[in-house]
């Protein structure tokens, strides 16, 4: 079973009639940018949704919701839909989006930035200081390979406990 995709204007009309909007992105992504009124229910913590005229699922671009449509459909105890284009499509349609510029970047973006910097640093140091620094680039590349193969990222785990990523109590 799959879910139909609806444009932002139709989603807004359903929300005005009492539909529930659910953001399936991780909490760090939701904190940084969200559609006002959207509940956050990451894919890893999905629960059945019922008791509403409809449920509308969304992510950033619509790719995650489309890829997980069967799982989302199974959690929809009422008519379910996918927001076309996700939060990006919502914003492009001129609808309001709440942004918290003070919230830290999403963990995966932090991983990409740090990994890219470490690889670049390893290459530059191996060319200018000592060839052995190329091992730094190899180590980071191996870590990224393992993260992709296993779904476990040590750098993401480390970044998640950094002070700037902790919620204020």
pLDDT score, position 104: 79
Q: Is 153 a catalytic residue?
A: no
* The last residue of a domain, from among 99, 133, 152: 99
CB 67 within 8 A of CB 5: no
Instruction: State the 10-residue block means of pLDDT for the chain, 169 residues long.
Output: 90 96 92 94 91 95 92 93 96 94 83 94 95 94 90 88 73
pLDDT score, position 68: 92
Q: Catalytic: which of 14, 38, 54, 59?
A: 59
Whether residues 9 and 80 fall in one domain: yes
Q: Is the pTM of this model over 0.85?
A: no
pLDDT score, position 169: 39
SS3 96: coil
Domain hosting 140: range is: 107-165
* The last residue of a domain, from among 75, 99, 123: 99
CB 6 within 8 A of CB 85: no
Whether residues 22 and 76 fall in one domain: yes
- How many structural domains comprise the chain? 2
Vertex 30: Cα angle to 148 and 85 (nearest 5): 80
Whether residues 68 and 23 fall in one domain: yes
Q: List Cβ neighbours of 47 (8 Å cut-off, separation of 6 or more).
A: 41, 75
Whether residues 45 and 93 fall in one domain: yes
């Amino acid at each position: 079973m799959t879910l139909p995709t609806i444009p932002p204007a139709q989603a807004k009309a359903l929300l005005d009639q009492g539909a529930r909007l659910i953001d399936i992105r991780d909490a760090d992504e939701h904190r940084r940018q969200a559609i006002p009124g959207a509940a956050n229910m990451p894919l890893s913590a999905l629960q059945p949704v019922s008791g509403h005229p409809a449920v509308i699922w969304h992510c950033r671009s619509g790719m995650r919701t489309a890829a997980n449509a069967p799982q989302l459909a199974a959690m929809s105890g009422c008519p379910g839909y996918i927001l076309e284009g996700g939060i990006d499509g919502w914003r492009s349609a001129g609808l309001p989006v709440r942004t918290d510029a003070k919230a830290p970047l999403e963990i995966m973006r932090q991983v990409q930035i740090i990994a890219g910097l470490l690889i670049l640093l390893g290459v530059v140091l191996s060319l200018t200081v000592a060839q052995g620094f190329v091992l730094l680039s190899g180590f980071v590349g191996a870590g990224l390979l393992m993260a992709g193969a296993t779904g476990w990222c040590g750098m993401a785990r480390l970044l998640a406990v950094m002070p700037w990523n902790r919620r204020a109590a």
